[in-house]
Amino acid sequence: MSELEKTKRTAITRLPKRGSYDADTIHKILDEALFCTLAYSRGETAFQIPTGFIRVGEKLYIHGSVGSFYMRELVSSKPVVSIGVMLVDGLVLARSAFHHSVNYRSVVLFGQPELVTDEAELYAVLEQFTEKICPGRWADIRKPNKGEWKATMVLSFDINEASAKIRIGAPKDDEEDYDLDIWAGVIPTSFEMKTPVPDPALKEGVKLPDYLKDVGKL
């Protein structure tokens, strides 16, 4: 368990008890989430992009096309970006309207993009992008050719200025409301994968691979 340094940007000011700067806690949330939102300032306006990402050690990686306007902008102006992730675990139904809430695990980190130029690092990252979304997939598919590698840009961000914010558990109502005849509790929520649907253009005779057989099973 190692704590990241709390900075002015990452300090949780609202409901600070929900905050955490523990690296393991932050890493676990990043590893479970498939998508993040990357925001950066262009002049006085903040732009944001939803995108996939992976974590490897103390680094977070995103990838995109070399033709993408924002990827090129990130490389050329190296702005400090914020990257946010939220896992929604439940809708919290309190007895009072006011105490309705959400169970969530979120992370925000700040950092500057670094263009990944080392080929081994680049290849490893793209393999893990595929494996994060679908473990077992990389060994099965047609690997990128030279042109495809060249068309893909990978950026890394150090995970050293980050915080997590977490709410778990039952509703918290005002003391006098616990005696009301109102149902209270939590609707658990999750991001679910269902049974894979084959491409209508799938070549005849190609079977669902083993690593996909349990996806979507209850």
- Binding to a copy of itself (CB under 8 A) within 63-82 occurs at 65, 67-69, 79-82
Q: Select 19 or 52, whichever has its Cβ closest to a copy of itself.
A: 52
Write the single-letter amino acid at 189.
T
Tell me which residues in 124-163 interact with a copy of itself (CB under 8 A).
126, 130, 133-134, 137-138, 140-144, 148, 151-152
- Cα–Cα distance between 5 and 200 in angstroms, integer? 51
Tell me which residues in 7-46 interact with a copy of itself (CB under 8 A).
9, 13-14, 34-35, 37, 39-41, 43-46
CA 141 to chain centre: 24
Options 23-31, 53-61, 114-122, 209-217: segment touching a copy of itself (CB under 8 A):
209-217
Q: Report the nearest approach of a copy of itself to the CB of residue 1 (Å).
A: 25
Q: Select 2 or 205, whichever has its Cβ closest to a copy of itself.
A: 205
Q: Select 2 or 203, whichever has its Cβ closest to a copy of itself.
A: 203
Size of the site for a copy of itself (CB under 8 A): 93
- Cα–Cα distance between 164 and 58 in angstroms, integer? 15
Asked if 54 and 92 touch (Cβ cutoff 8 Å), the reply is no
Q: Select 56 or 80, whichever has its Cβ closest to a copy of itself.
A: 80
Asked if 70 and 119 touch (Cβ cutoff 8 Å), the reply is no
Options 21-29, 53-61, 114-122, 180-188: segment touching a copy of itself (CB under 8 A):
180-188
Largest CA distance in the chain: 68
Among 30, 122, 159, 184, binds a copy of itself (CB under 8 A): 184
Q: Does 217 bind a copy of itself (CB under 8 A)?
A: no
Q: Select 58 or 69, whichever has its Cβ closest to a copy of itself.
A: 69
Q: Report the nearest approach of a copy of itself to the CB of residue 51 (Å).
A: 9
Q: Does 95 bind a copy of itself (CB under 8 A)?
A: yes
Nearest to 141 by CA among 152, 158, 150, 129: 129
- Cα–Cα distance between 30 and 24 in angstroms, integer? 10
Long-range contacts of 5-10 (CB under 8 A, 24+ apart): 5/160, 5/161, 6/163, 7/110, 7/161, 9/82, 9/110, 9/161, 10/108, 10/109, 10/110, 10/161, 10/162, 10/163
The token pair at 141 is 């598919």
